[in-house]
Amino acid sequence: MPELDRFDVVVVGAGPAGLAAANAAAGFGARVALIDENELPGGQIYRASRGSISASVREVIEDLSKKSVVRFDGSTVFEAPSDGVLRLWGPRGTQDIGYRSLVLAVGGRELFLPFPGWTLPNAMGIGGLQALVKAGLDVREKRVVVAGTGPLLLAVGAYLLEHGARVPIILEQAPLKDLALFGAGLVRYPAKIGQGISLGRHIATRLRAGAWVERAEGSRAVESVTWRKGGKSFQTECDFLACAYGFVPNVELPQLLGCEIQDGFVKVDDQQLTSVKGVFCAGEPTGIGGVDLSQVEGRIAGLVAIGQDDQAEALFGKRESWKRFARSMDRAFALRHELMELSTPDTIVCRCEDVRAGDLVAWESSRTAKLQTRCGMGPCQGRICGPATQKLFGWTQGSVRPPLSPVPLSALGRPLDEIEN
């Protein structure tokens, strides 16, 4: 009988929030585990390019090992078989680890809103395309249309230009006046201004505000996009379309653990504690706020998890300031209603099960639609289409069942009896 590997604090997710939590907790000598699906810690934002480890990631790794944080890289938490135990699938197969406190720093994912052609090859998310380029996709001389909403548009636009792509246009659905107000508000966030200016020079001429993709065209892959601005339609030829409408929180693991969800986000108190005893949550699952808010939330969670409440409280003011920033982003990049009306009856909504918009209009809830059309029943378990149907039809998502993500059948073959209590 294998003995259960026990930790004072287990952190799930090694992005900004998770790294901050792990470092904070380990800094006081607690035994800390850090679990992440990727091969290396850092999350999407610090993701290293293939064949090289960026300086920031190397720094992160050194810091973690100095503090004896036990890393479970390339590992997916696929269920929570009993109180205080997570079950992982990773390089060593199925593994159970125990925790006294748990910090869920599981991040967010891009929001896709269906429009005709959005499932064509070479049409993908903004972060998705960036990750592919980091993994080795060559975009030199390729024409990439970047579209959607939010600061990531500009950041990835600049990144693609640096990597030799041609970026004919960047389509931001938010109107210029909201962007201008947001830009003016940046005065209060000096760090963000620096980022804003360095981005601005590269991309100002390419940015179209109040513009969005109506459809993507192409026979075997994307060849062009038709986009709309000021009541007129335009067409631009391209080799890739990177399009996403901001982020939605990953709340599946919190839900599986029984954490209360409020308005789509994990409900936490001042100390980042969820409704479940000993379970904390930090970063995007508690509200989309970006890297700085995630870091301070992660740090608070990590400190409270090991009883350093005073240290944590000292960070509350900083957190509030980044929350204000997040709220101003929410206002500036609020989604326009036209985006909810782009799909035709033929447009695929659920990619896994090939369910089209026309198949869904008859149903009154995600549950009925699921039973009758299999919408959301495929390998992604509604991760992609769930948020879309929520925006399009106002459907709320149902319960979460293990495995949280696909695992080999043999991973489910390990009885719980083997966990030594």
Partner 1 sequence: MTEVFDGIVVGGGIVGCACAYYLSERFPKVLLIEKGPVGGGSTAAGMGHVVVMDDSRAQFALTQYSQQLWNELFPQLEPSCEPRSTGTLWVAADEEEFSHVDGKRKLYESNGLRAEVLDTKAIREAEPHLREGLPGGLLIPGDSVIYPMTAAAWLLDQARLRGAKLLQGRAVVKMGQGKTTLDDGTTLDAHFVVNATGDRAQTLTPGLPITPRKGHLIITDRYPGYVRHQLVELGYLKSAHEMSNESVAFNAQPRATGQILLGSSRQFVGWDPGIDRNLIAKMVARATEYLPGIGSLSVIRTWVGFRATTPNSLPLIGSLQHDPATLVAAGHEGLGITTSLATGKLIADIASGVESKIDRNPFAVSVEVKS
> Does residue 276 belong to the site contacting partner 1 (CB under 8 A)?
no
Which tokens in the block code for residue 171?
């389509």
Pick the binder of partner 1 from 179, 291, 326, 407 (CB under 8 A). 407
By the rule CB under 8 A, 408 interacts with partner 1: yes
The conformational region for residue 206 under phi > 0 = left, psi -120 to 50 = alpha, else beta, is alpha
Residue 88 in contact with residue 97, Cβ under 8 Å?
A: yes
Q: Is 401 in the site for partner 1 (CB under 8 A)?
A: yes
Q: How far is the CB of 410 from partner 1 (least distance, A)?
A: 3
Smallest separation (angstroms) from partner 1 to the CB of 31: 26
- Does the footprint of partner 1 cover residue 402 (CB under 8 A)? yes
Identify residues 61-120 at the interface with partner 1 (CB under 8 A): 79, 81
Give the interface segment with partner 1, choosing from 30-38, 182-190, 295-303, 375-383 (CB under 8 A). 375-383
Q: Which of these ranges, 13-21, 31-39, 40-48, 361-369, lies near partner 1 under the rule CB under 8 A?
A: 361-369
Closest separation in Å from C-beta 82 to partner 1: 8
Long-range pairs for 80-84 at CB < 8 Å and ≥24 separation?
80/253, 80/256, 80/257, 80/402, 81/416, 81/419, 82/416, 82/419, 84/278
Residues 344, 346, 348, 353, CA torsion sign? positive
Sheet of 232-237: strands edge to edge? Answer: 211-217, 224-229, 232-237
Candidates 122, 373, 389, 397; binder of partner 1 (CB under 8 A) is 373
How far is 121 from 53, CA to CA, in rounded Å?
29
Least distance between partner 1 and beta carbon 402 (Å): 6
CA 18-113-329 angle, to 5 degrees, is 50
Residue 187 Cβ, how far from partner 1 at the closest point, in Å?
48
107 touches 289 (CB < 8 A): no
* Cβ nearer to partner 1, comparing 191 with 409: 409
> Distance between CA 196 and CA 271 in Å, rounded?
31
Stretch that binds partner 1, among 189-197, 270-278, 339-347, 402-410 (CB under 8 A): 402-410
Question: Which residue number, 129 or 384, has a Cβ lying nearer to partner 1?
Answer: 384
Beta strand pairing call for 32-35 and 70-72: parallel
- Residue 337: DSSP 8-state: G
CA distance 352 to 359: 14
Looking at residue 303, what DSSP letter applies? Answer: H
Looking at 114-122, 222-230, 234-242, 409-417, which segment touches partner 1 (CB under 8 A)? Answer: 409-417
Scanning residues 176 to 205, which ones bind partner 1 (CB under 8 A)?
Answer: none
How many amino acids of this chain bind partner 1 (CB under 8 A)? 29
For position 261 contacting partner 1 by CB under 8 A, the verdict is no
Q: Toward partner 1, which CB reaches closer, 96 or 292? A: 96
Which CB sits closer to partner 1, 155 or 253? 253
Judged by CB under 8 A, the residue of 145, 174, 353, 357 near partner 1 is 353
Q: Does 371 bind partner 1 (CB under 8 A)?
A: yes
Q: Does 417 bind partner 1 (CB under 8 A)?
A: yes
394 binds partner 1 (CB under 8 A): no
381 in contact with partner 1 (CB under 8 A): yes
Query: Among residues 263 and 417, whose Cβ is nearest to partner 1?
Result: 417
Contacts of 366 (CB under 8 A, 6+ apart): 375, 376, 382, 386, 389, 395, 396, 397, 398
Q: Shortest approach of partner 1 to residue 221 CB, angstroms? A: 23
Of 346, 294, 344, 355, residue with least CA distance to 319: 294
Locus of tokens 């052609």? 117
Contacting residues toward partner 1, per CB under 8 A: 79, 81, 353, 365, 367-368, 371-374, 377-379, 381, 401-403, 406-417
